[in-house]
C-alpha cells in the first residue's frame, strides 16, 4: 500500500503500482484537494483509505488533470466518501471523458486484465466545475492555480500550481517513469508549445510532479520538451517532403522507440495543414 509522501509543505504524493500513477493531496484551511483519483471506483476507494490513514483532514475538492481513466475513474469513490464535493477539470476533458469512457470500458470487457471487473463496475462521474484557460481556487490560507497550457497529451490537460511552495503538478504532459504517452487523442504538434507555457510556470527549484513516476525538476521538463519538439519537427519534415504516413515511422530517427511514436505520427499527419495545390501561372 503506497503512502502519501510530503514533497513540500502540505503537498503529499502517493504513487500507485497500477499504471505507476500519481495521486496528489494539497492541504489547506478548507480541507484537502485531491488531484487525480486512479483508475476505478475500487482503486479510488483504496486511495480514500490512504488519505484517511494520512490523517490530514477531509477531502473537499477533486481535480482531474485530464480525462484518461487512470486519472478519473476513481471520482465516484471520492463522491461516495466525501459527498457532493466539486470536481474540477478543463472543459475539453469533460467532453472527452463523456465521449471516451465507454470505449475504455469496452477494451477492458474484451480483455483478461486483472482489473477488468473493477473497471467495468465503475460508474463514471464527470467533473462539474470546468474552465477554459485558467482558474484560481481560494483555499483560505493558500491559492491553487489551474492552468490549461494548450493541447498536448490530450486536448484538455491542466497543470496545477501551488505557488506558496513552488510545486507544479504536470499531469501526463510530463512523464518520468516511461516515455510520454502518445495516444490517438494526442496533439503532438502543439505539445512542445504547451510545455513552453508549463516551463514558464517553473523555476530552477520547482518540484514538478509528473502524471507517472517520481518528481522531477525544470531540467527534466526542458529535456522532455526538446524531445517532443524533435518528434514534432520530424513529423513536419516528413510530411513536407511527401513521405506517406504509413512509411513515416520507418523513414526517420526518433527520440523514442517506433512503438511509442506510431500514434503521434498518425496524429501529426492528421493535424498538419493540407498543402495548397499550386495554381497554374497565367
Ligand atoms: Zn494520460
Averaged over 98-122, what is the pLDDT? 96
Q: Return the pLDDT at 132.
A: 98
Whether the predicted pLDDT of 146 surpasses 70: yes
CA of 152 from ligand 1 middle (Å) equals 10
- Look at residue 281 in the predicted model and tell me its pLDDT: 57
Mean local confidence (pLDDT), 6-14: 98
- Å from CA of 163 to ligand 1 middle: 24
Alpha-carbon distance 238 to 199, whole Å?
28
**CA–CA dist 245, 114 (Å, integer):** 35
Query: What would the pLDDT profile of 165-204 be if each residue is shown by its tens digit?
Result: 999 999 999 999 999 999 999 999 999 999 999 999 999 9
Is the pLDDT score of 266 beyond 60? yes
- pLDDT at site 29: 96
For residues 12-34, average pLDDT:
98
* Contact present, 159 and 24 (Cβ < 8 Å): no
* The pLDDT of residue 255 is above 80: yes
Rounded Cα distance, 109 and 170, in Å:
30
pLDDT at 277: 45
Mean pLDDT in residue range 259-269: 97
Tens digit of pLDDT for each residue in 50-72?
999 999 999 999 999 999 999 99
| pTM confidence score | 0.95
In angstroms, the CA 110 to CA 98 distance is: 20
Work out the pLDDT band at 276, boundaries 50, 70, 90: very low
Res 236 pLDDT > 90: yes
CA of 19 to the centre of ligand 1 (A): 10
Ligand 1 centre to CA of 54 (Å) is 26
Residue range 151-169, pLDDT digits in tens? 999 999 999 999 999 999 9
Interhelix angle 191-200/218-240, rounded to 10 degrees, is 160
* End-to-end Cα distance, the chain: 74
Q: What cell numbers appear for 79 in the block?
A: 463522491
DSSP summary character for residue 243: -
Q: Is 10 exposed, middle or buried (0-12, 13-18, 19+ CB in 10 A)?
A: middle
d(CA 74, CA 26): 17
Instruction: Taking residues 195-219, report their average pLDDT.
Output: 98
Handedness of CA 185, 190, 191, 197 (dihedral sign): negative
Q: How confident is the model at residue 258 (pLDDT cuts 50, 70, 90)?
A: very high
Residue 273 pLDDT level (bands cut at 50, 70, 90)? confident
Q: Residue 153 Cα, ligand 1 centroid: separation in angstroms? A: 7
Cα–Cα distance between 25 and 7 in angstroms, integer? 10
Taking the centre of ligand 1 as the mean of its atom positions, its distance from the CA of residue 141, in whole angstroms, is: 31
Going from the Cα of 237 to the center of ligand 1, the distance in angstroms, rounded, reads 27
Q: What separation in Å is there between the alpha carbon of 181 and the centre of ligand 1?
A: 7
Amino acid at each position: 500500500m503506497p503512502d502519501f509522501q510530503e514533497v513540500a509543505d502540505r503537498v503529499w504524493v502517493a504513487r500507485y503500482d497500477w499504471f505507476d500513477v500519481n495521486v496528489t493531496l494539497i492541504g489547506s484551511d478548507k480541507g484537502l484537494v485531491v488531484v487525480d483519483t486512479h483508475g476505478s471506483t475500487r482503486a479510488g476507494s483504496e486511495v480514500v483509505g490512504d488519505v484517511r490513514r494520512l490523517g490530514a483532514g477531509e477531502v473537499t475538492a477533486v481535480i482531474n488533470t485530464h480525462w484518461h481513466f487512470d486519472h478519473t475513474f476513481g471520482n465516484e469513490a471520492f463522491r461516495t466518501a466525501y459527498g457532493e464535493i466539486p470536481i474540477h477539470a478543463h472543459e475539453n476533458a469533460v467532453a472527452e471523458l463523456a465521449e471516451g469512457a465507454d470505449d475504455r470500458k469496452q477494451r477492458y470487457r474484451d480483455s483478461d486484465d486483472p482489473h477488468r471487473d473493477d473497471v467495468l463496475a465503475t460508474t463514471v462521474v464527470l467533473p462539474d466545475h470546468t474552465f477554459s484557460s485558467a482558474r484560481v481556487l481560494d483555499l483560505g490560507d493558500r491559492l491553487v492555480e489551474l492552468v490549461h497550457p494548450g493541447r498536448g497529451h490530450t486536448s484538455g490537460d491542466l497543470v496545477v500550481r501551488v505557488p506558496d511552495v513552488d510545486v507544479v503538478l504536470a499531469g501526463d504532459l510530463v512523464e518520468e517513469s516511461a516515455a510520454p504517452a502518445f495516444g490517438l487523442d494526442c496533439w503532438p504538434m502543439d505539445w512542445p508549445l504547451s510545455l513552453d507555457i508549463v516551463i514558464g510556470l517553473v523555476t530552477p527549484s520547482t518540484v514538478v510532479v509528473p502524471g507517472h513516476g517520481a518528481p522531477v525538476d525544470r531540467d527534466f521538463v526542458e529535456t522532455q520538451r526538446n524531445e517532443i519538439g524533435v518528434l514534432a519537427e520530424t513529423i513536419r519534415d516528413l510530411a513536407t517532403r511527401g513521405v506517406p504516413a504509413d512509411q513515416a515511422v520507418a523513414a526517420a530517427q526518433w527520440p523514442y522507440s517506433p512503438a511509442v511514436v506510431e500514434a503521434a505520427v498518425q496524429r501529426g499527419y492528421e493535424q498538419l495543414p493540407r498543402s495548397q495545390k499550386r495554381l497554374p501561372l497565367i
